[in-house]
Structure 1
Amino acid sequence: MPYVLLAAAIAAEVAGTTAMKYSDGFTKLWPSLGTAAGYLLAFTLLAQTLKSMSVGTAYAIWAGVGTAAVAAIGIFFLGEPANATRLAGILLVIAGVVLLNLGGAH
């Protein structure tokens, strides 16, 4: 169950961050509200996840997968460049999360 909550927290954070891109510096109401709602839900779900998962593991997965997902959204949907450096960075983030999980975190 903690991984389901964590996946939902990641999805909410990614949605909030994507909405932030469209908020135009918080000058557009609906994307700004979407940002606030996404982050409120993300932190609420992350807090619930921490009841049964170590903070280091949960936060590493939340931040790493969220970062990689937002970078991919930027590349595939927002027209951001996909160069070798960016792609290597995304792969390193994912590798870091995998290594933390293989390290015996509980």
Structure 2
Amino acid sequence: MTYLFLAIAIIAEVTATSALKASDEFTEIIPTMIVIVGYGAAFYFMTLVLRVLPIGITYAIWSGLGIVLVTVVGFLFYKQALNIPTIIGIGLIISGVVVINIFSTAINH
């Protein structure tokens, strides 16, 4: 269940972060509500994850995958360009998350 909760936290955070742009500085009610509910859900599910995983590992996975997914959302929905350095950086972030999950002895699989 820990990784399911982490996935929910990541999806909620990515949804909230992506809605920030659409909220138009919190002047649009629906996107603003998505931001509030999304961040609330993200932090709630993070607290559940922290019952099992160390905070550093949890945050590394959460933020790393969040960065990657928000970049993909920006590309697909907001037509934000990706250049070679961005793609290489995202690849390194993904590599870091994989290394943490495969090789870290701090995670109790």
CA deviation map 1:42-93 (0-9, x unaligned): 0000001100111111111100001100001111221000210111111111
In the other structure, the counterpart of 1:61 is 61
Q: Distance in 2 between matches of 1:80 and 1:55?
A: 32
2:91 is equivalent to residue 91 of structure 1: yes
Report the aligned-residue RMSD.
1.0
5+ unaligned residues in a row in structure 2: which ranges?
none
1:73 aligns with 2:63: no
1:5-84 matched pairs, under 5 angstroms: 5-84=5-84
Find the aligned partners of 2:28 and 2:77 in 1 and give their Cα distance: 20
| Superposition deviation, residue 6 in structure 1 | 0.2
Residue identity opposite 1:103 in structure 2 = S
How far did 1:21 drift? 1.3
Question: Residue 22 of structure 1: CA displacement?
Answer: 0.3
Superposition TM-score, scaled by structure 2 size: 0.92
In structure 1, stretches of 5+ residues that fail to align are: none
Q: Percent identity?
A: 40
Q: Which runs of 4+ in 1 moved over 4 A?
A: none
State the shift of 1:18 in Å: 1.0
